[in-house]
Structure 1
C-alpha cells in the first residue's frame, strides 16, 4: 500500500469537511442556540482558571502561534528543506503555507463574526475561524506530510503526529481561555484547514498521476 492516502479518500474527506464547514458557518451566522450554548459553556468552564498569573502564561503560549512566529517556523522548515537539497519543496511549502493562511484571513473577513466580549488581551479583527488554530493545523499537516516524504520511521511519524495534535489542542485552548475566540471558532478552523489541505493534496496527487500516465 502507498505511504500516502489515496487521492479519492482525500477528496471524500476534504469534501465532507468543506460541507460541514459551510453548514457550521451558516449555523453561526444564524446564531444557532446550541452553538451559543456550547460557546458559553466553554467560557464558563474555563472561568475558574482565570487569574493574572495564568493569563500571562497562557498569553505567552498563545503568542507562540502568532502570525509572526508562524512565519518564523515556516522559514525554518523551508531552510531545513533547502539544507536537504529540496529547494523546490521548500519554496512550494512557503507558498502553500502563505496561501492557506490567506484563505483563512479572507474567510474571516467575509464572515465578520465579532470576537467574544471581556477579552483578556488586547486584539482586533474578527473571530471566525481562529487564525492561530488554523495556522497551527496547517503547520502540523505539513510537517506530518514531510515525515512521510522523507521516510521517517513509523514510530517517528506517529510520535510527531501525536505531538502535533497536542499542540493544536493547546493553541485552541489558549485562544478560548483568553476570550479572543469562541470554541466554535476553533472547530471552524479545524474544518476549513482539513477541507483545504485534503482537497489541495488530492487534486495535486491526481494531477501528478494524470501527468505521469500522459508521458
Structure 2
C-alpha cells in the first residue's frame, strides 16, 4: 500500500510542499476607449436629432480605421428631461441625451489619432485608453509555466539542503493564475490605416505609450523526496 493516504509522508518517503510564483511583464495587445456622446435641446426631438447625428459621426469615424478598430459596442443610451428649478409646475427646461460607446483597438499607432479625432467632435468625451492582454493570450500560459518551474526549482533546493533529492511529483494545485488581472499590452499589428476623410487640418494625434501588463501566477506543488541525510 502506498503512502498516498498520509498527507505528511513517511520517514522513508518524506513529502515536500512548496509554492511557485511568477510575475512577468508583457506588452499590451489591445486598448479600450470609452466615448460618451451628449446632446442638449429645448425639446425632446431636437435633443434626439443632435444625439443621433453625433453618434453617427463617431461610428463613421471608427469604421474608417478598418481592422484597427476591432470592435465597436454601444452601451447605455439615455434621454433625460431637465426640470425648471423654480415654480411648482413640472415644467421641462431642456432634454439631455447621452450614448456610451466602447471601441476596441489593436493598432496602437492608430490609437493616438483616433482618440484625438474623436475627442475633437462636438459634445464628445473620451476616456481611456485601458490597456490589456487578450484572455487567450499566450502570456498567461507562460506565467503559469514559469510558476511551475519556480516551484520545482525551489523544491529541489530544499531537498538538496537536507541531502535529499526529489523523487516524484505528488500534487500540482492551480491557485487561479488565469484570473490574474493583466496590467500590460502588446504592440499593434502594423502601421495605422490611411487617414479617414477630413483628417487633414485636424488636431495633432496624441503620442500614447502602451502600459506594460503584469501577469501573475501561483501554484502549489507537493513532492516526494528521498530520505534526507541529517
Q: Which TM-score tier does this pair reach, normalised by the shorter chain?
A: under 0.3
TM-score (norm 1): 0.28
- Which structure has the bigger radius of gyration? 2
TM-score (norm 2): 0.27
Q: Which one has a larger percent strand, Structure 1 or Structure 2?
A: 2
